[in-house]
Amino acid sequence: MGRPRKFDETEVVSLARELFASRGYHGTSLDELVNSTGLLRGSIYKAFGSKRNLFEAALSSLGDDFDQSPESLDLLTVALKELASEDAKVAKICQEIISRADSKNVSEILGRNLLAKMKGQN
- Write out pLDDT tens, residues 92-116: 999 999 888 865 688 889 999 999 8
Backbone angles phi, psi at 116, to 5 degrees: -65, -35
Domain contains 105: yes
Q: What's the number of domains the chain is made of? A: 1
Asked, for residue 97, whether it belongs to a domain, the answer is yes
Instruction: Report CA dihedral (71, 73, 75, 79) to the nearest 10 degrees.
Output: 180
pTM over 0.95: no
65 is a domain residue: yes
- The confidence score (pLDDT) of residue 118 equals 84
Distance between CA atoms of residues 52 and 71, nearest Å: 19
C-alpha distances out from residue 43 to 5, 49, 112, Å: 9, 9, 38
Q: Is residue 4 in some structural domain?
A: no
Q: Which helix (H) or strand (E) holds 54?
A: helix 51-60
The verdict on residue 3 lying in a domain is no
Domain holding 42, by residue range, is 9-118
The answer to the question of residue 25 being in a domain is yes
Q: Is residue 45 part of a domain?
A: yes
Rounded CA gap, 30 and 61, in Å?
20
The reported pLDDT for the residue numbered 3 is: 54
CATH of the domain at 103: 1.10.357.10
**Residue 1 within any structural domain of the chain:** no
- Cβ-in-10-Å burial (0-12, 13-18, 19+) of 65 comes to exposed
Residue 66, pLDDT score: 83
10-residue mean pLDDT profile of the chain (122 residues): values are: 70 96 97 96 95 97 84 95 97 92 78 86 59
As a whole number of angstroms, the distance between CA 85 and CA 12 comes to: 26
